[in-house]
Amino acid sequence: MSAGTAPNLAAIPLVDLRAQHAALREEIVAGIEQVLVRSDFIHGGDVGRFEEEFAAACGAGHGIGCGNGTDALHLAVRALDIGPGDEVIVPAMTFVATALGVSLAGATPVLVDVDPNTALIDPTRLEAAITAKTKAIIAVHLYGQCADMTAIAAIASRHGLAVIEDAAQAHGASHHGRPAGSLATLACFSFYPGKNLGACGDGGMVVAQDPALAARLRRLSNLGSERKYHHEEIAPNSRLDTVQAAVLRVKLKWLPEWTRLRRSHAAAYDSALAPIERIQKTTSDEGSVYHLYVVRSNRRDADLAALNQAGLGAGIHYPFALHQLGAYRHLGYAGGSFPIAEDWAARCLSLPIYAELPTSAFGRAATVLSQAA
């Protein structure tokens, strides 16, 4: 390197799954090998064992594996007998799948704006959105931080509504010491590879306390059938593969350690970025599992470009509020209907976070963002 030349720093992606799989490769391969030996690919032994282990980790009585997190939401809505003519409240800022779960069940998502500091559904706005058709509220634990389930539960019980957790980003998170997955009637998880607990492909689960709801979910996820060739209702084929369950059983043991590392990385970002006044950090509580580390910036697009230019894989979660998506234009919400979600979409910026994140990320992000000011 000649004098004055910047060192050629290795790129740090937004998420890097290779380090995780390099470390666990032998154990994962052994688990998959056992599935091949048994060849119990559908509803095999590892599925039942993983359902029990994951439900127990969530403080829930039952786990019902399914194809992915979107299906988990769809199945949860249907299990509660919610369908055409019914309304389900969802936050305006979330991944589209939260609303898709409602729409796929034939019901209508009704949007509510979010808290300006967290992007979590704002409980103070819920009551204004409740109508005679409202049947449930989906609380999304966005970025790994639990929604205010205490306030949401109080409003839901006053109005006789069910609550579903969208915990797709919140494996291992907690609200006042209670785990995500135990905070509502049903909770939905995704095991998409980049999630805090991710499969080597798609996967999902609904967890439930009530055995009758669990039995209904099992039927709904299996072409409406509890007994082979006895199909009692029209339902999708959405099962968790045995191979994915075997992978997830290996990874579940590591989740507490990965969560500890994510929290420590988030704290390191907090201190590295604190001197940069222009960057606002997202308020997070101690129960957050930091699926994403999100800040807000008034010049987000320039910051995003500068970070990427410097080899830091920054991203946006999410660039649109739900009503700004083509899929939900038919709901008829005008621009400006959800000002906080719209502002979030324009200013949010996600920095790389994953258990194996190199510690150089914090200083590099701070340098780029302070120079870009």
Ligand X SMILES: Cc1ncc(COP(=O)(O)O)c(C=O)c1O
CA distances from 118 to 155, 226, 297 (A): 20, 41, 14
Tokens standing for 245? 């369950």
Q: Would you say 110 or 272 has its CB closer to ligand X? A: 110
Report the C-alpha gap between 79 and 186 in whole angstroms: 9
**Smallest distance, Å, CB 294 to ligand X?**
13
Closest CB to ligand X: residue number: 69
Distance between CA 341 and CA 347 in Å, rounded?
10
73-132 binders of ligand X (CB under 6 A): 94-95, 97-98
CA angle 24, 28, 29 (to 5 degrees): 120
CB–CB of 180/285 below 8 Å? no
Distance from the Cα of residue 84 to its chain's centroid: 26
**For 17-128, where are the E strands, in sequence order?**
62-66, 87-91, 108-112
Which range binds ligand X by CB under 6 A, 26-34, 67-75, 216-224, 328-336? 67-75
The interface with ligand X within residues 170-199 (CB under 6 A) comprises 190, 192
Beta carbon of residue 369, minimum distance to ligand X (angstroms, whole number)? 25
User: Given CA atoms 122, 87, 182, 252 in this order, what sign does their dihedral have?
Assistant: negative
Q: How far is CA 332 from CA 65, 138, 213, 219, 326, in A?
A: 35, 20, 33, 35, 11
* Contact window for ligand X (CB under 6 A) among 79-87, 161-169, 248-256, 330-338: 161-169
Rule CB under 6 A: choose which of 130, 140, 173, 351 binds ligand X.
140
Site for ligand X in 196-235 (CB under 6 A): 202, 204
Q: Which is nearer to ligand X, 104 or 268 (CB)?
A: 104
166 is a site residue for ligand X (CB under 6 A): yes
Smaller CB distance to ligand X: residue 165 or 368?
165
CA angle 49–228–73, rounded 5-degree value: 55
Which residue's CB is nearer to ligand X, number 45 or number 313?
313
Least separation in angstroms between residue 189's CB and ligand X is 8
- What span, in angstroms and rounded, lies between the C-alpha atoms of 69 and 313? 25
Nearer to ligand X by Cβ, of 318 and 362: the residue is: 318
| Residue among 69, 144, 181, 287 that touches ligand X (CB under 6 A) | 69
Range in contact with ligand X (rule: CB under 6 A) among 44-52, 163-171, 326-334, 340-348: 163-171
Distance of CA 86 to the CA centre of its chain: 24
Smallest gap from residue 101 Cβ to ligand X (A): 7
From the list 118, 134, 169, 324, which residue makes contact with ligand X (rule: CB under 6 A)?
A: 169
Q: 114 pairs with which residues across the strands?
A: 121
Tell me how far, at minimum, the Cβ of 166 lies from ligand X, in Å: 5
Q: At what angle are helices 45-57 and 242-252 packed, to 10 degrees?
A: 40
Q: Provide the minimum distance between the beta carbon of 207 and ligand X in the complex, in angstroms, as a whole number.
A: 14
Query: How far apart are CB 253 and ligand X at their closest, in Å?
Result: 21
Counting residues that bind ligand X (by CB under 6 A) gives 15
Can you tell me whether residue 327 is helix, strand or coil? helix
Report residue 241 CA to chain centroid gap: 20
CB distance 293 to 351 below 8 Å: yes
d(CA 43, CA 205): 13
Closer of 91 and 179 to ligand X (Cβ): 91
Q: What is the residue type of 76?
A: A
Nearer to ligand X (CB atom), residue 170 or residue 369: 170
CB of 177 to ligand X, least distance (A): 23
**CB 89 → ligand X: shortest distance, Å?**
15
**What would the two tokens of residue 328 be?**
């939900």
Q: Which stretch binds ligand X (CB under 6 A): 129-137, 162-170, 304-312, 349-357?
A: 162-170
List, in sequence order, the alpha helices (H) in 160-210. Answer: none
Q: How far is the CB of 138 from ligand X (least distance, A)?
A: 9
> Applying CB under 6 A, which residues contact ligand X?
68-70, 94-95, 97-98, 140, 166, 168-169, 190, 192, 202, 204
